Amino acid sequence: MSVIRTVFLGTPDIARHCLESLLKDDHYNVVGVLTQPDRPSGRKMKLTPSPVKELAEANGIPVLTPERVKDPQVLAEIESWGGEAAVVVAFGQILPQEFLDLYPRQVVNVHTSLLPRWRGAAPIQRSVMAGEAETGVSLQVMVKKLDAGDVIGVRRIAIGDDMNAVDLHEAMKPLAADLLSVDFMDYLRGNLVPVVQDESLVTYAHKIDKAESLIDWRRPAMEIRNQMRGLALGPGVYTTREGKKLKIHQAEVIPIKKTANPGEVIEVDADSFVVASGGDALRVNSVQPESRAQMSVKDYLRGYPLKPGEKLGD
């Protein structure tokens, strides 16, 4: 089988990992890359290229960073690369049918869920927030309808109790790369028949809204902890104390020992404090006061003393 002239589309670190895998694979010749435009990043808001752009430029691959792929001039330049197939990994734009039609050997998409579950923008976060025990990575044939293409292959992964969305994102990198090196090649050779998604099993991973970061202490402690684990990939979770934000980074669910109102601090020791919720309680171990860096509760209590009976989420 001849080398496949491949166009790659992706932006974040998991996409970089997949591109790196393709560049090492003799079956693929990456002839061009599309990624999101440079964005402000860090405290100084310096314009920063995506991880994918950095890797592509380091390897001398043509890179486009269009705001809109459907721009006719952009499509014309992409077509000039002569790609036979395209691989999409967390690119960040909806692709028009005109783009999909450019590739005689299909466009495939790596999606970080077990399709048809969690179609959409935030599958990793949503699976953790839902308290699921398992998720995975799917390789699908890309169609115009969002994440609705036939599934070429999947890799499953357990979500450990202590895993957050950052951990899960990291663990998915080699799974995504393996799908491209094994299943995609089997598909191109005609050795693998994609499976049609069962529409009755579809759920949607809607984009994370910043409002979801606020902790509602009336919810059960396990739901709050899952919220914290899921939003660790961004933007995190917070409560308020005396009118200021207090981010919570690490906490564990414990049985509640006394009657207390949701949000009430019921116990404070040297390196943690316990907050009542709508069911059980959370022992908090790491926080981040407004305009400060993340710190242990031990360090926090030195500058911000806390007493049982105080209320969070005022």
Q: Is the pLDDT of residue 1 over 80?
A: no
What is the mean pLDDT of the segment spanning 34-62?
Answer: 92
Position 258 confidence tier, pLDDT thresholds 50, 70, 90? confident
Res 44: pLDDT: 78
The radius of gyration of the chain's CA atoms, rounded to the nearest angstrom, is 23
Q: Is the pLDDT of residue 295 over 90?
A: yes
- Euclidean distance between CA atoms 273 and 284, whole angstroms: 5
What is the mean pLDDT of the segment spanning 87-108?
Answer: 96
- Spatial CA neighbour of 229 closest among 257, 250, 200: 250
Q: Is the pLDDT of residue 93 over 80?
A: yes
What is the mean pLDDT of the segment spanning 29-46?
Answer: 90
Q: Is the pLDDT of residue 43 over 80?
A: no
In order of their start, the domains of the chain are 4-205 (3.40.50.170), 210-303 (3.10.25.10)
- Enter the DSSP assignment of 235: T
Helix (H) or strand (E) holding 88: strand 85-89
Q: What is the pTM assigned to this prediction?
A: 0.94
What is the mean pLDDT of the segment spanning 50-56?
Answer: 98
pLDDT tens per residue, range 175-214: 999 999 999 999 999 999 999 999 999 999 999 999 999 9
